Amino acid sequence: MKKPELLAPAGNFEKLRIAVHYGADAVYLGGQSYNLRSLADNFSLEEMAAAVSYAHDRNVKVYLTVNSFPDNGDLPGFYRYLEDIAPLPFDAYIVADPGVIDMVRELSPQRALHLSTQANTTNWRSAQFWEKQGVERVNLAREMSLAGISEVRQRVNLGLEMFVHGAMCISYSGRCLLSSVMTGRDANAGECAHPCRWNYALVEEQRPGEYFPVLEDGTGTFIFNSKDLCLLEYLPELVSSGVDSLKIEGRMKGIHYLASVVRVYREALDRYFEAPECYRLRPEMLEELHKISHRGYTTGFLFGRPGKSDREYHSSYIRTWDFVGIVEEAGVNGEIVVEARNRLAVGDTLEFIGRGLSSNLYRLQEMSAPGEKTIPGGSSLQIAHPNQRISFRVPFPVEKYDLIRREK
């Protein structure tokens, strides 16, 4: 068996560092133009160069998303953008549009190309076609079943990638038209307004202005609202299907989500390959995925078409923990410097999450500004606010970039 790559999102430089810290084999990111997450922070040309260098120094690959669908007026700017990024040593470009593929071949003929899920590859014939075009990897459509993925693997030699965790669109592999029609923000140009999360009612043609609710619960009708994808429980089956890369969705998600998901899938993959015949999913792995903000979980199309139980019938996320801080410095004597990302107070019980499934609970007894000493028998600070840097000691090892959270 070949161990699949664990591919994580990097919406900005901080998220890239977090993904690397918690064990991603590769990351995907976008520049400030021509990718399908244009509302994420994304990377300038200089930041992309620094990001590739940072990741490569740690043996992590970097893939650049250039997977938007340009119209005629976009082509000159797109071409100039590809010229600008051509010298950067990305490990591959993620592309979707044949015209973009043609431009990349003209400007960077040796560049590896990975086909985006936006290209809607749902069968082995399509995969064969793209293989003949020189594409090295295809991100299969989310609509594919496990059996379908296995059949594609048997018929092609190119790399296969699939999403294993994250948000699901009510559309065809993300090719949503609702956002463009309803708001003028084109999802296929990276500007999705997420109308699939909105509340809906029915209007009868002869009675305009009269809204008839389709009753599902007291909070509204969310008929397009999918649960989030989670395939952790079926990791052995995914490995056996022959996929080469397991992809996590979420360039616009926060670093608590990113760290939690990456560390769980990293731990599960490593444990499975240590002893496949003895592998059992540990309950705390699923518990960890329920601590992050999510909309409930579904296996999507892996075992057939989703049903009613795969949609979420409310608009709000499930949130049981608050992300409160990140470790900026970690001394050998337990002294740490933390940047607060939420309100912190003496007396809070904090959970430190490290690599693997390591975690430690600690009741915050005292804290101070970095470099200051605490008052004997007390603390120089009682409350820390977001973006404030604080210092305190913990009786267990932590590392730089470890995250801290607090139960709601």
For the beta carbon of residue 329, count every other beta carbon within 10 angstroms.
13
- H runs (alpha helix) in 92-234: 98-107, 124-132, 146-155, 178-183
Helix (H, G, I), strand (E, B) or coil at 27: strand
What per-residue confidence (pLDDT) applies to 96? Answer: 94
Whole-number Å distance between alpha carbons of 40 and 289? 23
- Position 376 pLDDT exceeds 70: no
* DSSP-derived secondary structure for 57-107: HTT-EEEEE------GGGHHHHHHHHHHHTTS--SEEEE--HHHHHHHHHH
Tokens of 287: 């518990």
The tokens for 284 are: 């705390």
Rounded to 5 degrees, what are φ and ψ at 276? -55, -35
pLDDT exceeds cutoff 80 at 189: no
Checking 47-52 for CB contacts under 8 A at 24+ apart, the result is: 47/13, 48/85, 48/88, 48/90, 49/88, 50/13, 51/10, 51/13, 51/16, 52/88, 52/89, 52/90
Out of 69-78, 198-207, 346-355, pick the least confident. Answer: 198-207
Assess contact for 395 and 345: CB atoms under 8 A. Answer: no
The CATH architecture one would assign to domain 321-407 is: Beta Barrel (2.40)
> Binning pLDDT at 50, 70 and 90, where does residue 390 land?
very high
Contact criterion met (CB below 8 Å) for 22 and 259: yes
Q: CA–CA separation, 6 vs 354, rounded Å? A: 18
> Does residue 233 carry a pLDDT above 80?
yes
Query: How far apart are alpha carbons 55 and 61 in whole angstroms?
Result: 6
Cβ atoms of residues 179 and 193 within 8 Å:
yes
pLDDT over threshold 80, residue 158: yes
Gyration radius (Cα) of the chain, Å: 23
For residue 169, give every residue at least 6 positions away whose Cβ sits within 8 Å of its Cβ, in sequence order, or none: 176, 196, 226
The answer on pLDDT for 130 being more than 80 is yes
Per-residue pLDDT at 120 exceeds 70: yes
Residues 45-95 have pLDDT tens digits of: 999 999 999 999 999 999 999 998 899 999 999 999 999 999 999 999 999
How is 208-233 classified by DSSP, letter by letter? Answer: TT--B---SBTTB--TT-BPEEE-GG
- Per the model's pLDDT, the better-predicted residue between 223 and 398 turns out to be 398
Q: In this prediction, what percent of the chain has a pLDDT beyond 70? A: 87
Mean pLDDT across the chain: 89
The sign of the CA dihedral 156, 160, 163, 164 is: positive
Q: In this structure, are residues 63 and 26 in contact, taking their beta carbons and an 8 Å threshold?
A: yes
C-beta separation of 158 from 129 below 8 A: no
State the pLDDT at residue 197.
67
How far apart CA 67 and CA 126 sit, in angstroms, is 18
Q: Provide the 3-class DSSP secondary structure of residue 120.
A: coil
| Backbone angles phi and psi of 36, in degrees to 5 | -90, 20
Residue 91's identity, in one-letter code, is D
* CATH domain 5-176+225-310 topology: TIM Barrel (3.20.20)
Q: In this predicted structure, what is the pLDDT of residue 177?
A: 66
Q: What is the pLDDT of residues 269-318, one digit of tens each?
A: 999 999 999 999 999 999 999 999 888 889 988 998 876 665 555 555 67
Please say whether the beta carbons of 298 and 229 come within 8 A: yes
> CA–CA separation, 129 vs 183, rounded Å?
35
Report how far residue 277's alpha carbon sits from residue 37's, in angstroms, rounded to the nearest whole number.
40
Instruction: Provide mean pLDDT across the span 238-265.
Output: 95
**For residue 242, is pLDDT > 80?**
yes
Q: Where in the chain is the domain with CATH 2.40.30.10?
A: 321-407
- CATH 3.20.20.70 domain position(s) in the chain: 5-176+225-310
